[in-house]
Amino acid sequence: MLDLFNALPEMILLLDDQFRVTWFDRLMRHSFGWKRKKTLGKPLDQLYPFSEVDLPLGRDGNAPICLHMRSGAIRCFHVELISYRNKQKIVRLSEPGQQLKPETQQREFVANASHELRTPLAILGGYLEQISVDDHATVWSRPLEVMTLQKERMQQIIDDMLQLSGLEQAGERVRQETVDVPELLDECLQTHAILAKKRDQKLTLKLDRQLLLRGSTQMLRSAFSNLIINAVKYTQKGGAITVRWEQDGAVAQLSVQDNGPGIPKAAQKRLTERFYRVDKGRSREMGGTGLGLSIVQGVLQAHGTLLEIESGKGSGSCFYAQFPANLLLSRG
């Protein structure tokens, strides 16, 4: 059985009934630099990097956790606790999108290709604008309109890919500033209120105005905006969307809830993958790039949390994230 655990792509370790480590796999050894003599028999919550976080060890099930590495990077996992023989527990750590995670060379290729595409696309856009104002171009007005729309869509894809590339850079750090989350959400709501009105949707904010956050205003604006515009686009006409920012015990929770058609269970785990679409035809019709939730997940990981999804077909969706206590601030 231990050989089988070693062959799995996730990190695996075994705990006894006192939550002391009795075995860990090669991935745990390589990732955390653990040595068997110094690790076996020790309580997990006393070992790096788990000593810095609250571990969900009390019951079986799944929970998100973000670990601060010695390099300064933050790695986020889904932690699954499974009962095993002789009162032991299996702890399984898997990173979001791990099985389809791009390698470094692929990331570099995407970043470089995106940079290279910007210049020819800008030239193409310039000529399209020039032709569009030409008095002799009336016959071509519809084709020019379509080409211009497609050029703008390509530009948005490139911009999103570059943003993702920036989030994935190992040396990138979150700018530490006071983020006025209520003000930021007000701004995002105003930005998307016109489209929501056209779709006869009710947009509601329920905010703790005293609750602020330490992080990057620019990055969080992008994440919050993506979550809200997704809800507006994929909730039916006449639907309702509620955005909440509130304290929940020691953490702060942001949630965007809608009463839309919901998301099939099988699709929920793949939503943050690049270019993944539940309904490809509808996504393109709504003008999405398929990268929005990947960007959201990258921003949230940089802030020590993960995007969680609760949804059922026909019962709406709730996208939420819980920010750790060390990032919370109070107004005044």
Give dist(CA 291, CA 295) in Å, integer: 6
CATH: 3.40.190.10, 3.10.450.50, 3.30.565.10, 3.40.50.800. Which one for 177-330?
3.30.565.10
CB 66 within 8 A of CB 301: yes
CB 205 within 8 A of CB 243: yes
Cα 108 off chain centre by: 20
The reported pLDDT for the residue numbered 101 is 45
Closest CA to 155 of 128, 183, 192, 182: 128
Interacting residues of 280 by C-beta distance below 8 A, sequence separation 6+: none
The per-residue pLDDT for range 277-290, each reduced to its tens digit, is 766 555 555 556 67
Helix (H) or strand (E) holding 321: strand 317-323
Check whether 102 has a pLDDT greater than 50: no
Q: Report, as an integer, the average pLDDT of 294-321.
A: 88
The listed range with the strongest mean pLDDT (21-30, 47-56, 98-107, 154-163) is 21-30
Looking at the domain that runs over 2-95, which CATH code has it been given?
A: 3.30.450.20
The reported pLDDT for the residue numbered 146 is 72
Check whether 5 has a pLDDT greater than 70: no
Cα 146 off chain centre by: 32
Q: Report, as an integer, the average pLDDT of 35-57.
A: 82
CB 192 within 8 A of CB 225: yes
Q: Report, as an integer, the average pLDDT of 209-228.
A: 91
CB 289 within 8 A of CB 156: yes
* Cα separations in angstroms, 299 against 50, 216, 258, 302, 327: 22, 9, 22, 5, 14
Give dist(CA 98, CA 8) in Å, integer: 12
User: How many Cβ atoms from other residues are within 10 Å of residue 325's Cβ?
Assistant: 12
**Whole-number percent of the chain with pLDDT over 70:** 69
Helix (H, G, I), strand (E, B) or coil at 312: coil
